Amino acid sequence: MSVHIEKTLVLLKPDAVQRGIMGKVITRFEDVGLKIIGMKLVQSDKDMAGEHYDEDVAKRRGDHVRNRAMDLLLSGPVLAMVIEGVNAVENVRKMCGTTEPMSAPPGTIRGDFSHVSYGHCDEKEIAIRNIIHASGDKEYAKKEIKIWFTPEEIFDYKAVHEMHTR
């Protein structure tokens, strides 16, 4: 396998699930040739949410941000996906747009499906509802995939475009 072929974790957060836009987001990844090799609807518990938003998040962004993010993750089901492809971590993050939806450009997932700002969420003391989580780098991707998936839940198969480009 090429060193450029990577796996990354994507979570469609409860706000995406509740709004019924999962299919629209999945289609974006498939349209660019990324491959979904694991997918399931999960209701996170407090331990899983705490492992996902670990102490590093609290150090980088503060306990209040971590706690709000955990509350959002616990508020409903999450669609968890493992996505594979060329430079998948970077490509998926570009497709998602910046964490703050108000700053995310049109054409990105957050820019097209959400609009809230950090200021609004801070004022309301709520988590930023930004539709999606994508692993920040290759190391986080490996760690996060293990939180959400067992090895048996991740599949290896050839997509049509892979079979025709070799």
Q: Looking at 4, 64, 133, 164, which residue is catalytic?
A: 133
4 tagged catalytic? no
Q: Are 16 and 22 in contact (CB under 8 A)?
A: yes
User: What's the CA dihedral at 26, 75, 64, 146 to 10 degrees?
Assistant: -50
CB-based contacts of 10, cutoff 8 Å, min separation 6: 29, 80, 81, 82, 83, 92, 132, 133, 134, 135
Residues involved in catalysis: 133
